[in-house]
Amino acid sequence: MTTTTLAVLVPLLPFLGAIAGLLLGRTAPGFVRPLAVLPTLVSLGLAAVVAARQGGDGAVDAATELTPTGSVPVELALHIDGFAALTAVLVTLVAGCVQIYSTGYLRDDPRYPSYAALVSLFTSAMLLVVYSGDLMVLLVGWEVMGICSYFLVGHYWETPEARAASLKAFLVTKLGDVPFLIGLFALATEAGSFRVTRILGAVANGGIEHPTLIALLLLAGVAGKSAQFPLHTWLPDAMAGPTPVSALIHAATMVAAGVYFVARLLPLFEASQAAMVVLAVMAAVTMAGSALAALAQDDIKRVLAYSTIGQLGYMTGALAVADRGAAVFHLLSHGAFKALLFLAAGVIIHAAGTNSLAAMSRMGHLRDRVPDAYWTMTVALLALAAIPPFSGFFSKEAVLGVAEHVVTGHTEHAPAAAGWIVLLAGLVTALLTAAYAMRLWLLAFRGYGAEAPDHGRQPLTMTVVLWVLAVPSLALGGLAFRVLPDWFDGHDLTPTLTTSVLGTGVALVGGIVTYATWRHTTAHAVSRVPLGAVAAHPEGDAGLVEAEAIASHQAAYGDIASATDPSDPGRLLLGPLHRHAAAGFHLDAVYTALFVRPVRAGASLVRFLDREVVETYVRGAGALPRWLGAAVRRAQTGNLQTYVSALLAGTVVLAVAVVLVATGA
Amino acid sequence: MHLAYPAVLSALLFCTGLYGVLARRNAILVLMSVELMLNAVNLNLVAFDVWLSRAAEETLHSGQALALFTIAIAAAEIGIGLAIVLAVYRNRGTSDIDKLRDTAEGPGGDGPDGDVPGGDASATRTAAEKAEATA
Amino acid sequence: MTLAAVATAAHATTTTAAGTHGFLSPTGVEIAFLLVGLVTLGAAVITVTTRQLVHAALWLVVALGGLAVEYLLLTAEFIAWVQVLIYVGSVVVLLLFGLMLTRAPIGRSPDADSGNRWVALAVSVAAAAALVWVVVDAFRTTWIDLDGAPAGSTEVTGASLFQHWVLPFEALSVLLLAALVGAIVLSRKAKADAAATPTTGTRRDTEGAR
């Protein structure tokens, strides 16, 4: 089979699996699990073959025009370069792990068939985005992901949090998609094509007249999808979905799509200095803000969600300094260790019966209950904190190294201001990242107090994938930073000495300070007030435990994001900032004031107009025929003589009229 | 003789019968008024036939023949009409036309399925109901 | 008015009609026609206005008889006798039977007219005005020549009826048969109470179908 055929099969197989799963879900439940897992795994193999055949050489391009559109043609096109090939491998790897993990995680869930089919569809849509060489086709995958995320985040729709979160995810990403769509149309109009290759050609020839406008419009969509400030608010709330869905959305698919899109069209963004600076500012605000917020969260998954936002900030920062190689490198390593973090967090939530770090810190020996999760999560957290030699170190140093290059003026692609912004924000974020990773690890695994409840062994499907993902988290960076430039643009990804020392130094400082704070807070035993609500379901599957934990968090702690735990090191570290950071710096309140209230007011105005004004006309229009009808009904007496009288009177009138007309009078 | 005399007389008789049909309450009186109207038509037919049989060379005497037919049909009509009136009277206990208001949408919601001149349908229905009630 | 008088009057008109035909110089036949016509119209009006139901039937006899006389004045002898036989002889008798079978009150009944009376009056007066106006306007100069052989003698009528009108005549017999059957079916009682008046019904039907 040619590479093109294999590449077509990669997104097609999960799609067919999704269709078959939806169709057979009720009639043949036995086929659902194979139908969910096997197509994704086959796609993984095919994607690996495609990547091996592509091998970093010239991009594989294939296109067929479906039907003439009359203006800019829409083509079913493939454009597989090194970025696409490797990203597809990551997507299928994470999706395969998530599917296997889900069979254990949701083993008793009655809605598992539709869930698995939607995950397959989600994977397929992401692969379409990755491989597509036509922006319209890419948009199809982009929107399918949006709707799938709506359904998957709302999987526990019995809880109000999940319903609100799924709606929020949908609306916020769509808010970014509107300017994105306009930007796509503007881009295609100016370039004369939706094909990536032709657009890049037009950019190279200077054929784009308004690069800044188009780039900014596209950035709005990217910010929505990749959860960048100011459209990131949906992502922490999306934690109301099942943990495997969080892993899928955060590691490989939805949020990666935005970064990947910018990486694909990076020359377009480079054409506009303003767009690059905006991108850099966006990345810096996202990085630093989300790291601060992560330090204040109580829900373990919300910590990871904010850390995702921060790591995405690193990727957009790399793009802002015009190095997509570093961005996609970080995307790959982050995909591996973030999927691992989420899946391990799912195991911990199942074992602890709660998603609250405050409650976990009051459980002794939680790490003995889940040794697999403990070890793999330690690896992943070290990767997240960018401690050498874990993979996160290499990818993050690549980003910082590129920023340093730009600052010292070694490249002309990006403005030096962007370099400074990214570099400084990256260093601050490295410090904070190490701090919240340390806090998470300490609170989850070094708790004191009553024995953790015994929920039995985790299913094998849930623990094996952790080790599978631990391998790339541990080794991907160190092995790949020499090889990857061949696949990418050729920029060197080797860590530079300055940034390595700086980055690792601040990370170590962050970790040590957090540890010291933790020792200080836990030493004050008086502050160890009992706290927490634990949903204990020894027989239930992990999904049930998690759904109850999410539903009970607000009731137990008064807030969905934070808990009033005095022994939390994050509280001491952040000081007065803690309250604001826990609430995500009140961005939701700002949105409420800016958008929700005006819309509500407008809606009530419309309702008033409809009820009082339009309805009056409607009632008037109804009343007149009713009165006429009542009058006519009165004439219907049932007395034949009346009828005949009327008939004959009419006849006489007609006859007289006819005679008058006939005689010409 | 002027043709106007029989013509005007027949017109007046016709309208008298018309008044009777519209104004009388008893169904049999209505039938009488119908007879008056038919006779007015007959007078017209005969008068015009006489006039034409003088004026024209060849005549079929169609007016007089039609008058005869009308008389026969009127006789048949009066028989049928009386039979209907009797049937209605038997079932309703009255032959007052303005009490037969089944075609109106009454407050009781009694479905409009009875045509009053063809009152046999509603008559048989009420008869069936009566039979059920007594059985 | 006796039959002989009618006959002589008819004879006189047929012989003397000639010359200018003004409305102010009526012939004898015309005078007789007018007088009989007034009687007929008066009887008809009483028929439709009287409050005594049986009287209405009797006044109907007068009106129909007056019409028979008018036929005679128009030299339509056969139709005049048929009129007397069928209408006066059977139809009115039938109507009287009907009145009695429906237990019509003897004497004045206050509710002989329905509430529709004034509408009916208006409609009929309007119709009469329109008809009279049209008829007079159209035929005010037309003259019927009543001289010569009678236009409607039994011989002439019979000849035309059985030469030119045989087929309708036969079809009419089928119609009468249908009316006979229909009257029987209609007046037959439901089986539950088929006892009271079958005999009168049957007799009336045979008379009506005659």
Three-state SS annotation for A460-484: HHHHHHHHHHHHHHHHHHHHHCCCH
Own/partner contacts of A176-180, CB < 8 Å, gap of 24 or more, are A176/A220, A176/A221, A176/A222, A176/A223, A176/A224, A176/A225, A176/A231, A177/A142, A177/A143, A177/A146, A177/A221, A177/A224, A177/A225, A178/A220, A179/A217, A179/A218, A179/A220, A179/A221, A180/A217, A180/A218, A180/A220, A180/A221, A180/A222, A180/A224
Q: Is residue A341 part of a domain?
A: yes
Which residues of chain B make contact with C41, given a CB cutoff of 8 A? Answer: 9, 12-13, 16
Owner of token pair 């209907």: B84
Same domain, A273 and A351: yes
Same domain, A625 and A499: no
Angle A316-A318-A320 from CA coordinates, rounded to 5°: 70
Please count the structural domains in chain A: 2
Q: Domains (ranges, CATH) in chain C?
A: 3-150 (1.20.120.1200), 165-210 (no CATH)
d(CA A272, CA A289): 26
Tokens of C70: 């008018």
Strand partners, A75: A65
Q: Is residue A244 part of a domain?
A: yes
- Beta strand A75-80 with A450-451 is unpaired
What stretch of H or E contains A63? strand A60-65
Determine whether the interchain pair A648/B101 forms a contact, defined as Cβ–Cβ distance below 8 Å: no
Same domain, A517 and A641: no
pLDDT above 50: residue C208? no
Determine whether the interchain pair B18/C123 forms a contact, defined as Cβ–Cβ distance below 8 Å: yes
Interhelix angle A542-557/A324-352, nearest 10 degrees: 90
Q: Is residue A559 part of a domain?
A: no
Nearest CB neighbour to C183, from listed B11, B68, B79? B79
Residue A299 is given by DSSP the state: B
Smallest CA–CA separation between C3 and chain A, in Å? 39
Which residues of chain A make contact with C122, given a CB cutoff of 8 A? Answer: 649
Tokens of C102: 């429906």
A450: helix, strand or coil: strand
Instruction: Point out the domain boundary residue: A503, A521, A539.
Output: A521
pLDDT above 60: residue C199? no
Residue C192: predicted pLDDT: 47
A53: helix, strand or coil: helix
Same domain, A261 and A335: yes
Residue C14: predicted pLDDT: 41
Residue A65 is given by DSSP the state: E
pLDDT above 80: residue C15? no
Pick among C48, C118, C119, C133 to test the A interface (most A CBs inside 10 A): C119
Which residues of chain A make contact with C126, given a CB cutoff of 8 A? Answer: 649, 652
Instruction: Point out the domain boundary residue: A521, A551, A569.
Output: A521
Determine whether the interchain pair A639/B22 forms a contact, defined as Cβ–Cβ distance below 8 Å: no
Q: At CB < 8 Å, which residues of chain C contact A?
A: 114, 116, 119-120, 122-123, 126-127, 130, 134
Residue A387 CB contacts under 8 Å (≥ 6 apart), including other chains: A393, A434, A504, A507, A508
Nearest CB neighbour to C116, from listed A642, A655, A659? A642
State the CATH number of the domain containing residue B65.
1.10.287.3510
Question: DSSP of B105-124, one letter per residue?
Answer: --TT---S---STTTHHHHH
Model-level pTM? 0.64
Determine whether the interchain pair C208/B75 forms a contact, defined as Cβ–Cβ distance below 8 Å: yes
Residues 59-98 on B with a CB inside 8 Å of C are 59-62, 64-65, 67-69, 71-80, 82-87, 89-90, 95-98
Q: Using CB atoms, which chains have 3+ pairs under 8 A with C?
A: A, B
Instruction: Point out the domain boundary residue: A493, A521, A549.
Output: A521
Determine whether the interchain pair C102/B86 forms a contact, defined as Cβ–Cβ distance below 8 Å: yes
CA dihedral of residues C106, C110, C113, C114 (deg, nearest 10): -120
Q: Using CB atoms, which chains have 3+ pairs under 8 A with A?
A: B, C
Determine whether the interchain pair A645/C116 forms a contact, defined as Cβ–Cβ distance below 8 Å: yes
Determine whether the interchain pair A645/C134 forms a contact, defined as Cβ–Cβ distance below 8 Å: no
Q: Which residues of chain A have pLDDT under 50?
A: 526-527
Pick among A633, A636, A639, A642 to test the B interface (most B CBs inside 10 A): A639
Q: Using CB atoms, which chains have 3+ pairs under 8 A with B?
A: A, C
Q: Does B102 touch chain A (CB under 8 A)?
A: yes
Q: Is residue A557 part of a domain?
A: no
Q: Is residue A555 part of a domain?
A: no
d(CA A431, CA A448): 27
Largest CA-CA distance found in chain B, in angstroms, rounded = 71
Find out whether A203 and A190 touch, Cβ atoms under 8 Å: no
Give the range among A280-289, A363-372, B43-52, C32-41 with minimum mean pLDDT. Answer: A363-372
Domain range holding A622?
A: 587-663
Angle A436-A442-A448 from CA coordinates, rounded to 5°: 145
Termini Cα distance of chain A: 96
d(CA B93, CA C210): 29
What stretch of H or E contains A62? strand A60-65
Residue A536: predicted pLDDT: 57
Which residues of chain B make contact with A641, given a CB cutoff of 8 A? Answer: 21-23, 97-98
The Cβ-side half-sphere exposure at A127, using a 13 Å CA radius, reads 32
pLDDT above 70: residue B115? no
Same domain, A619 and A502: no
Q: Is residue A236 part of a domain?
A: yes
pLDDT above 60: residue C206? no
Angle A131-A134-A138 from CA coordinates, rounded to 5°: 65
Which residues of chain C make contact with B131, given a CB cutoff of 8 A? Answer: 190, 192
Pick among C116, C117, C125, C133 to test the A interface (most A CBs inside 10 A): C116
Q: Does B106 touch chain A (CB under 8 A)?
A: yes
Angle A274-A280-A281 from CA coordinates, rounded to 5°: 90
Q: Does B23 touch chain A (CB under 8 A)?
A: yes
d(CA A238, CA A259): 19
Smallest CA–CA separation between C126 and chain B, in Å? 9
Supply the ipTM of this predicted assembly. Answer: 0.77
Same domain, A505 and A603: no
| Smallest CA–CA distance from B98 into chain C, residue | C114
Domain range holding B80?
A: 4-134
Spatial CA neighbour of A441 closest among A380, A393, A391, A387: A380
d(CA A473, CA A332): 10
Which residues of chain C make contact with B85, given a CB cutoff of 8 A? Answer: 98, 102
Please count the structural domains in chain B: 1
What stretch of H or E contains C21? none
Find out whether A273 and A311 touch, Cβ atoms under 8 Å: no
Tokens of C4: 């002989």
Same domain, A462 and A599: no
Nearest CB neighbour to A639, from listed C116, C126, C127? C116
Q: Does B15 touch chain A (CB under 8 A)?
A: no
Would you say how long chain B is, in residues? 135
Q: Is residue A547 part of a domain?
A: no
Q: Which amino acid is at A335?
A: G
Spatial CA neighbour of A290 closest among A216, A198, A227, A341: A227
Q: Is residue A287 part of a domain?
A: yes
Same domain, A362 and A491: yes
d(CA A160, CA A157): 7
CA dihedral of residues B105, B109, B110, B114 (deg, nearest 10): 30
Pick among B14, B16, B101 to test the C interface (most C CBs inside 10 A): B16
d(CA A440, CA A445): 8
Buried b / exposed e along B28-53 (16+ C-beta atoms within 10 A): bbbbbbbbbbbbbbbbbbbbbbbbbb
Calculate Rg over the CA atoms of chain C: 21
Strand partners, A77: A63
Smallest CA–CA separation between C70 and chain B, in Å? 8
Give the range among A429-438, A611-620, C7-16, C150-159 with minimum mean pLDDT. Answer: C7-16
Determine whether the interchain pair B100/A637 forms a contact, defined as Cβ–Cβ distance below 8 Å: no
Same domain, A454 and A322: yes
d(CA C122, CA C127): 8
Which of the two residues, C14 and A562, has the higher pLDDT score?
Answer: A562
Determine whether the interchain pair B90/C189 forms a contact, defined as Cβ–Cβ distance below 8 Å: yes
Tokens of C84: 């007397």
